[in-house]
Chain A
Amino acid sequence: MIEIRNLNFSYKKTPVFSNINLSFPQGSIYGLLGENGVGKTTLLKLICGLLRPTEGTCSVDGLTSQDRLPEMLQRIVFLPDEVSLPDGRTPQQYIDELAPFYPGYAWGTFLHLMEEFEVDPNRKFKEMSFGQQKKSLIAAALSLGTDYVLFDEPTNGLDIPSKAQFRQILSRRFEERNTIIISTHQVKDVENLIDPIVILNNNAVLLDASVQRIQEKLFFEYGGEQRQDALYSEMQPGGYLNVIPNTTGEESQINIEALFNAVLRNKNVFRELFK
């Protein structure tokens, strides 16, 4: 389990988090959402020990992240959105360098994933497109056999078929022992993959709830008239999409973008609703 306790973090004088608490138990693929600059990437870096909290703690299986103990580092992999790659090397050389630090690394898995993504593991990074580089790094990250995988904008740069491949690969590789955190703006790419959903805003956690809980609390009405009592409503080609409190108990399909907008506009209502 990843645990964040009373975490404060500031870049110089700019506060990013003030006293947040979050836990990520194993067995879920978490979606980490938030507007630009709310600290999604910062949070991922704090979890894997690349940044130190100003106050409070982050831990992985009880091991404090900022200590960067080998026992902790071998359990977690972080794939940043932008990586400076060893240009003259190949994915195969890259993984050969990383693998000795990860006891769970599976050589077969790496080759299999590269094959699935249709990227040649023996081609130099500098000769690849951005998407191919990204796919190589995703394949590497998922073959290291860590319980914890942190992805920052993993579908960024992937072409349309690769996005579907990414979803399939993740649902195939995901196991009970895993915690996967996907930080993204591209919610459509991972809409049916992420559960629970965590939304960050203004130094705080605005929402941290499973899809089931969101469906219990909110109703997403598609293709109707605009409703005055809606927490959020949006005109779509087939009529209005309304997000309203769920009073009947009927479950509906969540639209994550509408959920996000509803949360940002009704912070206090949501705090009360999801207490």
Chain B
Amino acid sequence: MEFRKQKPIYLQIADRLMEQILQGEPAEDDRMPSVRDVAVSMGVNPNTVMRTFEQLQNEEIIYNRRGVGYFVSPDAKKKILAEQRREFLEEELPLIKQRMQVLGIDFNLLNN
């Protein structure tokens, strides 16, 4: 797969896994694919994917059952959407607004 520039890979992999969770594959309370399987499918270092899983665990999007593996948290979708809304409002929207100003596009266009 081709990685988007800018964000470190471990966060790019996190984005991709969160996208899959939002699509319900894996569903909430389902088991996550293994670190190894994710690493192999993308041809990346398993330690990098481990870092992704630790990040998702810190954000309580997945949880670890000792000796069994990682599972999707019961409210994972809600958490992912909340984070994505925040990211959109604080990071993406200001850029869009700025761009619209530069191009002379009326902000009211969005109401239609």
B-contacting residues of A (Cβ < 8 Å)? 27-29, 164, 167-168, 171-172, 174, 192-195, 211-212, 215, 220, 222-223, 251-254
Contact = CB atoms under 8 A, between A and B. Distances in A.
B5 A192 contact: no
Contacts of A27: 47
B46 interface: yes
B5 A253 contact: yes
Contacts of A254: 8
A168 B51 contact: no
A235 B8 CA distance: 21
A195 B48 contact: yes
A193 B44 contact: yes
* Range of interface residues on B (Cβ < 8 Å): 20 to 34
A251 B14 CA distance: 14
Given A172-B36, A215-B8, A253 B44 contact: no
Contact of A252 (B6, B42, B43, B46): B6
Contacts of A251: 7-8, 11
A164 B2 CA distance: 12
B112 to A, nearest CB: 31
B8 A253 contact: yes
B45 interface: yes
Contacts of B48: 192, 195, 211
Interface string B36-71: 100111111111100100000000000000000000
Contacts of A164: 43
A195 B8 contact: no
A174 B36 CA distance: 9
Contact of A253 (B6, B41, B45, B46): B6
Given A168-B43, A172-B39, A251-B7, 18 more contacts: A27-B47, A167-B44, A168-B41, A171-B43, A171-B46, A192-B3, A192-B9, A192-B42, A193-B43, A194-B45, A195-B48, A222-B5, A251-B11, A252-B8, A253-B3, A253-B5, A253-B6, A253-B12
